[in-house]
Amino acid sequence: MSNNSGNEPAGLMASGVIRRAAAIFLPLAVLATLTCGLIYAEVQQDQRSGANDPQFQLAEDAAARLNAGVSPGSVVDSSPGIDLATSLAPFVIVFDTSHSVLATDATLDGGQPAPPAGVLDAARPGSPNAVTWQPRDGVRIAAVVATWNGGTVLAGRSLRRVEDRESNAELIAGAGWLAMLGALAAASVAAAWLWPKARTR
């Protein structure tokens, strides 16, 4: 018995190709979206967590020195104040048990910045508290708080460069996702168009 698919009206054939292409494309598009999303999330988390590493060292070293008896002023930079609004340099703030600033090399809008009390209280001996601190709009800090016998010590630095890299990674992931969807759409249409032809052979 002969196959009459070659006599199928053009409209029905096009409709069948579109349905088959959609059936092929949709699960692949979901897989591509999840893959790009997971890759971006991994890159973003790696960059953000890595931004805390120098501050862990600064905070823990400062706490150890304070516990050894040095003065709070000796664990902060002796250079002029670091403006959190413009500088990328790391800074240190030493607090007493009542959250008062004992020493700092950080400034913001002409004053001495300090995080909410809960940020300091969340630190525990042997378990520093790492947070993203936003002292005001446009200023975001990767901060680590460690305890010492007389209070807490915070080490921080601007997230500006890290967030620039995160934005670049987002653009790359988005461009890659769109390119993958375009390639998958073209491949799905081609496969759907060839499928009935392959069946007649």
69 shares its domain with 29: no
Q: Is the pLDDT of residue 4 over 50?
A: no
The DSSP bridge partners found for residue 104 are 93
Give 117's pLDDT tier (boundaries 50, 70, 90).
very high
pLDDT tens-digit series, residues 96-106: 999 999 999 99
Q: What mean pLDDT is predicted for residues 21-47?
A: 80
Of 193, 130, 128, 117, the residue nearest 159 (C-alpha): 130
117 shares its domain with 186: no
The verdict on residue 114 lying in a domain is yes
Radius of gyration of the chain (CA): 29
Q: 132 lies in which domain range?
A: 52-158
The verdict on residue 147 lying in a domain is yes
152 shares its domain with 89: yes
58 shares its domain with 140: yes
The verdict on residue 80 lying in a domain is yes
Q: Is the pTM of this model over 0.75?
A: no
Number of domains composing the chain: 2
